[in-house]
A and B are shown apart, each in its own frame.
Chain A
Amino acid sequence: MYIYDMKKRSMQEPTFLILTALAAGPQHGYGIITDAEQISGGVTRLQTGTLYMALDRLRSARLVEPDREEVADGRLRRYYRLTDEGAALLGAETERRRASAAVAAQRLRVRLAGGTA
């Protein structure tokens, strides 16, 4: 159902960042937060509550799944990985964003050419 909704509307920024962070390989919660910050160029900083709300939703939509668990400093660290469905959805969203960015770039070029002419 979530995938159906996602096809009809654009993906939210935290969801896109989380899926992108997991695209390279399994990561734990803190790793996703730091990676998402790097991906967004320091613009978007995921809060812990937001991250786990998104992970809960993505897990129930079978877009991500737990990979393994480790214990570090006496604390559980659960790694998450992207499923095939999640990768497909991320690919579709990337294409959509790329197309939008291409249109925006083209129109800016036209505007720039019109301004200089």
Chain B
Amino acid sequence: MSAGRTGQATGKDGDMPARHPAGTAALERRYLRLLRCYPPSHREFHREEMLGVLLDTARPGQRTPGLGQTVNLAACGLAIRVRRIPGWLAADAGQDALAVVSLIAPAVVVIFLALQQAAMNATAGARPPVWVPVWELFPVVPSVGKSVVVMIAWLAVVLLGLAGGRGAAAAIAFISLTLALLVLLVLVTAIMQPRTFSGRLFQFLPFGDVPVVLVSLAACSLALSPGPRRGLAIVGWRRACLMIAGLSAGFGFPWIVQLADPAAPVGDLAFRRLGVLAIAVAVAVTCVRVPVGRRVAGLVVTALLPSLAATIPLPDLPAVIGVPLLVTLFGNVLVWPVAILSWRGRVSRAGYDQGRRARRPRRPPAQSRGGSPGVWAGRCKRTERSGFLAWCHERSADRREGITMSWSSRCGARPVRRAPPRRRQGAHPARQPVTDGTVPAPYRSGGACPPGEAKNFADAGS
């Protein structure tokens, strides 16, 4: 629709049509609404110029966007959003979120298993548990020994992760995940081929009696992230404990209720829905207000899928068993592509950073640490040798400087810089900290200054 063809008046620069103010405001508003289909970063860069082009190509007197243009803008906006998903996943924040998950997911699994075992022991005398999660579709023979083995294995995963043995922790998590998937396979076999099914396979059940999606999440985050130490450096001990406690309470809600009241009707549909709500609330409360919290919440919430599937009222028995089973398998594989993309992004960035580091001279360590380079190098090596407690000690010193470094970043990887505390909007300039000894703008021209605040500035200046 060129200017000549649409009959628009030609503008002063020859190639732009003249503006028609009447009706432009309404059209502009509608275009702005359509531009919300685009990702925020794209809008921030292109919004004004896109709006100008859209208004320039509009017919005279047009008040609403045409159908074709609406579809085109919506489709292109969504296409750009989809195209940016791999980049979004490969960002640093994706790896940080996986590191936080690798810290909290194994601990939640341990607490979940402990709660489950305690609830089973409590209800053993009262009545068998009616509510069966998807990973426990048949009544489980109480075999305390095997359950304790699984619990100890996951406790080892937690401790190994904190002690720096990420690979060993991931290996144990993978063994547990494999057993859990085997149990799922046993259940599928039992459903599909009940006549040829061997009952001996049930002896593996206690080994695989774990929340499978949560275990899958823990295994992939341990294998494809910088590890729990990085997660600990990001969220800190206090927040990590709060997140673990909150998520354990959410995922272990039925077991907690059974511990409180062994005769509680945990098998009812309403109660299952309450359990899903408890998990959702726990995820929202514990994950949203931490660094990279939304990404962590997005990853952890996949473990909600089996419980969500268990709340669907299904008519017959095969569907009651089959649908949650399929959802569990889907949840298992859902997080892996995300983690792999994130890991690939980190690996490619690391190669790029190494190239940059080779060209850039290193900053003299004496400037940043207040010691000789030799002392710094020695400290770095000692830190590597002397273990986790020494790292914690040095990390507290770094936090005073506003820099948080993980174990691996101490020897050259990327540091996490904490954002400066957000300044309150509209705060009085006199209450802002003066760092360079200058007087803020309102007071430079001899404007009115409250007496008490003038004294503060005199103090700050001196």
Contacts and interface: CB of A to CB of B under 8 A. Distances in A.
Nearest to B1: A45
Main DSSP-derived SS at the A contact region: helix
Nearest to B68: A47
B15 A48 contact: no
Interface in B55-95: 55-57, 68-69, 72-73, 75-77, 79-80, 83
B76 A34 contact: no
Contact of B57 (A30, A50, A52, A72): A30
B16 A49 contact: no
B46 A52 contact: yes
A49 B72 contact: yes
Nearest to A69: B49
Interface in A55-81: 55-57, 72-73, 75-78
B354 to A, nearest CB: 20
Give the size range of A's interface with the partner. Answer: 20 to 34
B50 A48 contact: yes
Main DSSP-derived SS at the B contact region: helix
Nearest to A53: B76
B52 A30 contact: yes
B53 A48 contact: yes
A33 B80 contact: no
A31 B1 CA distance: 12
B69 A51 contact: no
A24 B76 CA distance: 27
Nearest to A32: B53
Nearest to B52: A75
Contacts of B76: 47, 49-50, 52-53
B53 A33 contact: yes
A97 B279 CA distance: 59
A93 interface: no
B52 A34 contact: no
B347 to A, nearest CB: 15
A112 B3 CA distance: 41
Interface in A1-36: 28-31, 33-34
B69 A48 contact: yes
A31 B15 contact: yes
Contacts, number: 70
Given A49-B76, A49-B77, A72-B13, A29 B49 contact: yes
B445 to A, nearest CB: 30
Contacts of B2: 34, 37
Contacts of A73: 11, 16, 19, 52
A77 B52 CA distance: 7
B22 to A, nearest CB: 15
Nearest to B55: A75
Nearest to B37: A49
Contact of A76 (B1, B49, B55, B79): B49
B31 to A, nearest CB: 9
A31 B13 CA distance: 11
A76 B72 CA distance: 22
B48 A48 contact: no
B50 A52 contact: yes
Contact of A78 (B13, B49, B57): B49
Contacts of A57: 83
B53 A53 contact: no
A66 to B, nearest CB: 9
Contact of A30 (B42, B48, B53, B79): B53
Contacts of A31: 15
A72 B55 CA distance: 13
Nearest to A27: B15
B57 A48 contact: yes
A56 B69 contact: no
Nearest to B16: A30
Contact of B73 (A37, A49, A72, A76): A49
Given A30-B56, A45-B1, A75-B48, A53 B80 contact: yes
Nearest to A79: B49
A20 B54 CA distance: 22
Contact of B52 (A45, A51, A55, A76): A76
A78 B51 CA distance: 12
A78 B45 CA distance: 10
A9 to B, nearest CB: 17
Given A37-B2, A45-B1, A75-B48, 11 more contacts: A29-B52, A30-B16, A33-B53, A33-B57, A47-B69, A47-B73, A49-B76, A50-B76, A56-B46, A73-B19, A77-B49
Instruction: Report, nearest first, the 8 A-B pairs whose CB atoms are least far apart.
Output: A49-B76, A76-B48, A75-B52, A29-B53, A49-B72, A53-B76, A47-B72, A49-B73
Interface of B: 1-3, 11, 13, 15-16, 19, 42, 46, 48-57, 68-69, 72-73, 75-77, 79-80, 83
30 contacts: A28-B49, A30-B52, A30-B56, A31-B15, A33-B53, A34-B15, A47-B72, A47-B73, A48-B50, A48-B53, A48-B54, A48-B57, A48-B69, A49-B72, A49-B73, A49-B75, A50-B72, A51-B53, A52-B50, A53-B79, A53-B80, A56-B46, A56-B80, A72-B13, A72-B52, A73-B16, A73-B19, A75-B51, A77-B49, A78-B49
